[in-house]
Homo-oligomer: A and B are copies of this chain.
Amino acid sequence: MLTFLGTSAAVPTKRRNHIGIALKYDGDVFLFDCGENIQRQMLSTKVSPMRIKSIFITHLHGDHILGLPGLLQSLAFMGRKNKLKIYGPEGIEDIVRMSLNFGYFVREYDIEVITVKTDNPKIIEKTEKYEIIAYPTKHSIESYGYIFKEIKKPRLNPEKAKEFGVRKEDFKKLKNGIPVKSIYGLTVYPYQVLLPPKKGMCLAYSGDTLPIEDFGRYLKNLGCDFLIHEATFDDNLKDEAIETMHSTIGDAVNIAKIAGVKVLFLTHISARYDKEYFNIYKSNAEKYSNEKFKIFIPEDLESYNLKDFL
């Protein structure tokens, strides 16, 4: 489940909160960016702040970090005990340190701050079930996009397993790559009975950036189906986008096309499109409705069940 907690750019509007995107996966919440008031936005969704495992900050502009102090404090007030990981570019340690000095409160949970520093895509977290990759992007300050990639285990071919005389209780071992003895007393190796794994869910988030075609190609290689790409401006403001190192709707569409995703979410929407001006933005996006992928412009607090699109 993917929830857009905030979708604005630098300045929040009545309609849109500072940015923050929550991915719920296997009971954990992964939070991407944390603009002001993200903790309170969560209260209107099914995203539990206590379930946040890691926070991934794309860059240290205020609209992406101002919600950290309040969130970290409220987690303390709520009695959190579990460690929280916070990833971000150089300077993130200072931001977390300042966050913890913004008011007085007693904290019983640990915070591990991981400074991301890489010129190339890099796996920054990996478990049996998923890996998270930081991708260096192009903004006015050091910034990273993040990619969440589910790792699926190989499936067992039940017919093959039967043929080889594998006991049911040994299925799990084979899936984990461990050879077993069959009912015939012979050794059965995983490659003999396993099918290739199903494709895992893969979601990429650009953060603030100029469009990067290589990023699209990288996602294509990963087989990523979902892209959240910033599109601060409509296509008429391409000059402004270049100057401020942001993307337009057309830029985001182009990256999604290169990546071959199934769904593109446009976000980080300039305050100028508040109220009736949103029509300009929306109709610009509708120009691309013939693309092979779906395009959404999420409102704040909207959730998407990604499985619906696979």
A residues whose Cβ falls under 8 Å from a Cβ of B: 10-14, 17-18, 36-37, 39-40, 43-44, 60-67, 69-70, 73-74, 77-78, 94-95, 98, 101-105, 141
**How far is the CB of A69 from the nearest CB of chain B, in Å?**
6
B65 touches A102 (CB 8 A): yes
Task: Say which residue of B36, B103, B141 sits within 8 Å of A62 (CB atoms).
Answer: B103
B77 touches A11 (CB 8 A): yes
Task: Say which residue of B44, B60, B69, B95 sits within 8 Å of A66 (CB atoms).
Answer: B69
Instruction: Indicate how many identical chains form the complex.
Output: 2
Please measure, in the bound complex, the distance between the C-alpha atom of A175 and the C-alpha atom of B275, giving whole angstroms. Answer: 48
Task: Say which residue of B13, B44, B62, B141 sits within 8 Å of A70 (CB atoms).
Answer: B62
**How far is the CB of A46 from the nearest CB of chain B, in Å?**
13
**How far is the CB of A6 from the nearest CB of chain B, in Å?**
10
Task: Say which residue of B65, B67, B101 sits within 8 Å of A98 (CB atoms).
Answer: B101
- Which label, helix, strand, loop or mixed, suits the secondary structure of the A interface? loop
Q: Can you list 10 A-B pairs, Cβ within 8 angstroms, ordered by A?
A: A11-B74, A12-B40, A36-B36, A36-B39, A36-B67, A36-B69, A37-B40, A62-B103, A62-B104, A69-B69
Q: A10, A11, A67: which has the most chain B beta carbons within 10 Å?
A: A11
B43 touches A103 (CB 8 A): no
Please measure, in the bound complex, the distance between the C-alpha atom of A66 and the C-alpha atom of B62, giving whole angstroms. Answer: 13
* In the complex, residue of chain B having the shortest beta-carbon distance to the beta carbon of A18: B70
Please measure, in the bound complex, the distance between the C-alpha atom of A37 and the C-alpha atom of B18, giving whole angstroms. Answer: 10
Task: Specify which chain B residues have a CB less than 8 angstroms from the CB of A101 in the assembled complex.
Answer: 94, 98
**How far is the CB of A263 from the nearest CB of chain B, in Å?**
28
Please measure, in the bound complex, the distance between the C-alpha atom of A173 and the C-alpha atom of B65, giving whole angstroms. Answer: 55
A103 touches B14 (CB 8 A): no
**How far is the CB of A11 from the nearest CB of chain B, in Å?**
5
Please measure, in the bound complex, the distance between the C-alpha atom of A203 and the C-alpha atom of B105, giving whole angstroms. Answer: 30
Please measure, in the bound complex, the distance between the C-alpha atom of A301 and the C-alpha atom of B43, giving whole angstroms. Answer: 18
Q: A18, A44, A98: which has the most chain B beta carbons within 10 Å?
A: A98
